[in-house]
Structure 1
Amino acid sequence: MDGLDPGLEALYLERKRQPHQAVATLANCKTLILGMSAAQPPALMAATADALKDRLIGPLAFYYLHGTEALRKTLLAPDLREFVTPRPLFLSHSDREAIAQSGSQNWIEFVPAMLHQAGRLLTEHIDPECFLVTVSPMDRHGYFSLGTNADYGASVIRKARKVIVEVNRYMPRTFGECSVHISEVDLIVEHDQPLIEATPSSPTDVDLRIADQIVHQIHDGDTLQIGVGGVPNAVLAGLTNHRDLGLHSELFSPAMMPLIQSGAINGKRKTWMQHKHVFTFALGDRKLYDFLDDNPSIVGYPASWVNNPDIIRLNENMVSVNSALEIDLTGQINSEQLGDRPFSGSGGQLDFVRGAYASRNGRSFVALRSTAQDGNVSRFVPRLQSGTVTDPRNDVHMVVTEHGCVNLKGLSIPQRARALISIADPSFRESLESEARSIGLI
């Protein structure tokens, strides 16, 4: 702590604890909130799991989004089932594995929520007794950084009754509303561990065919929100020759980095937060985290602001690109449920579907492959099989598959059904038309 003000150094040392010491203070805590994804603190989660097993604390209900492998191996371990009630607002691969391992779909209690409402939900409708989160090392002014995860963390950390931070030198220092002063922190644990990494896979030929149709409808000067998956990454890869693009995105991903480095994304023509690359959470590899570190052009703000449709619409020419699991012939989108099994969550998809379309000259794209299970199952169905609607049909704008792109705005139900059948897989079009007729859609 060379060069640190003696008063700040004394306060830091006074609040510093070993993980088990910090967790011992949760004896009376019933509701715990964890940081999201890369901000989930592995040492504190492991210590909490140990304390639960030893009956030193608990039982606990805990809330979070996008669980990590560290969470699966600690608080989501099968031998803790009687001591914890996990309540995620969005499911990850690790969460789905934990559900499968538990043998009970209802042990993990999914909480439906749009991301822009998560901060309010976790501070107003749920009592935020304690918040555990990973932060960057403290700077000479006494500030930690939430780094990769402003999301709901920037809201919860200022409302929780107790805040315990896990300081990790691998967490980048980011700007925006990510700074947290030591006076806002109750206890500090130090634990250096590389952040979780998510390396995007190479796009398939189908991904490239879908992406190409979207790329041709993105213009110089547009502001982008790009989701996660093969198609969104392929869209970004296709924008290398574009100029003066802006970024106002829920997710900051590795595929955005080369576009910023080349100047294709520079924010020059944004009408809101010009020259700034806005995000609410970041997930990628070590190269991405290094790129974020101390980069003043990249700013993280709470999801309550970034994902608010009224804020999104302030950028003219806003373009939103997201994925889907299933669509029915009236235009209802399901992006979170496979049959009766929860798969992910609504996240911020509807936030940007609405915000982008509300923007002047804005466009919202929902992209999906026309089939699943090696072409044996159509993703286009007469009625949603799951009953879960992520994007209501009133909100859906452009739908894209490898077979084409249709604009649903202004179309009647029969027109929608015909348009969507036209971009379904050819082998299913005849049966879809027959089923559409049988239920009165056409």
Structure 2
Amino acid sequence: MQPVQHGDPEALADSIIAAVGKSIVLALPLGLGKANHVVNALYDRAAADPSISLRIVTALTLETPRGGSALERRFMGPVIERLFGGYPDLAYVPGLRTGTLPPNIEVNEFFMLAGRWLSVPTAQQAYISANYTHAARYVLDRGVNVVAQLVARREADGAARYSLSCNPDLTLDLLAARQAGRAKFLLVGQANDELPYMQGVCELPSEAFSHVLDGPATQFPLFAPPKQPVTAAEYAIGFHAARLVRDGGTLQIGIGSVGDAVCQALILRQHENAAYRDTVERLSAVPPQPFEAAPFTAGLYGATEMLVDGFLELIRHGILTREVDGAVVHAAFFLGPKAFYRALREMPDAQRARIAMMPVGYANELYGDEAGKRRARVEARFINNAMMATLLGAVVSDGLEVGRVVSGVGGQYNFVAQAFALEGARSIITLNATRQDGGRVRSNIRWSYGHTTIPRHLRDTVVTEYGVADLRGRTDAECVAAMLSITDSRFQAGLLRQAKAAGKIAAGYEIPAVFRDNTPARIERALAPARARGVVPPFPFGTDFTAEEQRLMPALMRLKSAAHSLPALGALLWQGLTAGPPSPQDAACLERMGLHKPTDWRQRLQRTLLRAALGE
């Protein structure tokens, strides 16, 4: 049966309620694939009618970013208009954030936008802790009766076909459950012309859908978060991780600028091998072992939950070339900048078909054709980022000691488990050795922590900007020593004292002198030749930020850090007051921020501080 076509989301909401009744359990894909107009129409119906019960089960609710301080808002305003103009925000977000959702509406998430919901009790209390691969069963347990998803549309032989595109991850598993008689729900699609039409198992015939929303009034630009600059520490991490990746092997990379750094290091390994080797050696306190240094001849195969734009760069540069069942990468979902979506849309079908979007269980687990997956996923390197790690090798990626959730487990545990299940595979956990917190530098390597995502018995490889700690199969004392060798030197002595007090390392142990210069200055020195050659740019794969915005971003970060310290803020103020005329570049930045002609004392203060931060 062909789906009912709709151009009006309100009429579609009425049809859904007529079909399933007033108790609605609505499942939405993670991230990009949400059918926003469908969700909002159902939300409006439930908000206006208390007799309707609406439970929304989803993950990674996307919301248009907002600046915090006055300066950040000045910076973000034009960026938001340029990158998110026309994006229809999800109607449930304001009520969820303020704790004012109507009592007949509940939102459950199993993964949150990192750090955005830490102080929202409603969201924290409604969070479902789940591995990504277990989420579909929890959705089924909740009694899902509507699945609403953004889809790409194509005419083939006179009939419409639809692609789940960015999010086959859970929907294909839910459809399999429906086919087996274990679920009964309406599949509702919202067609979006910007969504790339991905081929393969994520393609569905029109009769798979009960309703489709499609028309000019409900088209909208895809949510496209701009890429963040790659810092010196992240580049160092990327080079250390890249030297662990074996030719002919398998690669998984998580989201974020560390993933960009890994991809850029792999590209340099392929095309500017001397610069790659030199940079790795300069970054390593001791001769790097292992050190995969040669360019790729057999090539890599990607098996990843998230298709990041870095994978397209690896394809373009002839690195991701090893095919499995006709694909060089299998992935479960994607989210990225505008250029990423455009590149996927503009690919010839034959090239796009080599990027296979699959159910999440395919990418994240060995279940189902385990023998085939074992043959394919040789020498796998699963690279995922973390917030913190302990000296004994436990990893903290998703939550705080007090129980509040920063993001979610997602697929990290799945990939760590795969690394132990597959012959020759390794889990590589990356993290910055330090972070700024309340104006102070704090270590991300701790003696202990009250919450862990990956327990210490699954410790494997941990990478910071200062090197690689191989923890697999090591004794506790060996793990402590290895982790101290990649800890920032400002915190080594204190952590060593804690380990000795706990009896976990010999009382006479001393950190070797070669590891006692783990400082940001050493990283900057090591990267200086690569910077001079232009091979470690802040945005290796392009950016949506203008030249002025790129200059402003680090300046605003300096101001944010200084805001926690009166002496630092005073020093910046004095520097700004005593500065000479602004350079043409600084003047352009001030104009971009609307501070070239301040009209009151607040704007004059902002201008003075910003001038100083730009000067640094």
TM-score above 0.5: yes
Aligned to 1:337: 399
Distance 1:97 1:419 in 2: 33
Following superposition, the deviation at residue 98 of structure 1 comes to: 5.6
Q: How many residues align?
A: 422
Partner of 1:324: 386
Judge conservation of contact 2:333–2:357 (CA < 8 Å) in 1: yes
Per-residue deviation, residues 36-76 of structure 1 (Å, max 9, x unmatched): 21101121122122112211763322111111117864112
Spell out the pairing of 1:18-417 with structure 2 (5 A cutoff): 18-24=8-14, 25-26=16-17, 27-55=21-49, 58-69=52-63, 73-78=90-95, 79-93=100-114, 97=116, 100=119, 103-105=120-122, 109-123=126-140, 125-140=141-156, 141-158=159-176, 159=178, 160-190=184-214, 191-240=218-267, 241=270, 242-243=295-296, 244-268=299-323, 272-273=324-325, 275-293=327-345, 294=349, 295-310=352-367, 313-314=374-375, 315-340=377-402, 341-373=404-436, 376-385=441-450, 387=451, 389-417=452-480
- 2: CA distance, partners of 1:274 / 1:177: 13
SS at match of 2:134: helix
Structure 2: gaps (5+ residues) = 65-87, 179-183, 271-294, 506-616
Paired with 1:136 and 1:167, the residues of 2 have a C-alpha distance of 6
One-letter amino acid of the structure 2 residue matched with residue 120 of structure 1: R
User: Separation in 1 of the partners of 2:362 and 2:210?
Assistant: 26
* CA–CA separation in structure 1 for the residues paired with 2:240 and 2:118: 37
Q: Whose strand fraction is larger, Structure 1's or Structure 2's?
A: 1
SS in 2 for 1:118: helix
1:108 and 1:267 mapped to 2: Cα distance?
Answer: 44
1:286 Cα deviation from its structure 2 partner: 2.6
Q: Secondary structure in 1 aligned to 2:40?
A: helix
Q: Deviations over 1:20-47 (max 9, x none)?
A: 1121223423321112211011211221
TM-score by length of 1: 0.89
Larger radius of gyration: 2
**8 Å CA contact 1:246, 1:266 repeated in 2:** yes
Identical-residue share of aligned pairs (%): 22
Partners of 1:65 and 1:306 lie apart in 2 by 18
User: In structure 2, how many angstroms separate the alpha carbons of the residues matched to 1:259 and 1:435?
Assistant: 43
Instruction: Tell me if structure 1 keeps the 8 A contact 2:43–2:54.
Output: no
CA distance in 1, matches of 2:118, 2:481: 38
Displacement after TM superposition at 1:147 (Å): 0.6
The residue identity in structure 1 corresponding to 2:381 is: V
Report the Cα offset of residue 284 of structure 1. Answer: 1.0
Specify every segment of 5 or more residues in structure 1 that has no aligned partner in the other structure, as ranges.
Answer: 1-7
Determine the C-alpha separation between the residues in 1 that align with 2:51 and 2:147: 15
In the aligned structure 2, how far is the partner of 1:34 from the partner of 1:320?
27
CA deviations on 1:94-153 (whole Å, 9 max, x unpaired) are: xx54664xx535565111111122223322x22111111111114324321001111112
Shift of 1:302: 0.3
Q: Deviations over 1:256-306 (max 9, x none)?
A: 2122122221124xxx43543211111112322233344111111100111
Alignment equivalent of 2:483, drawn from 420, 429, 436: 420
Determine if contact 1:365/1:398 at 8 Å carries over to the other structure. yes
* 8 Å contact from structure 2 (residues 320, 328) kept in 1: no
In 1, are the aligned partners of 2:388 and 2:444 still within 8 Å (CA)?
yes
Runs of 4+ in 1 over 6 A off after TM superposition: none
- The answer to which structure has the higher helix fraction is 2
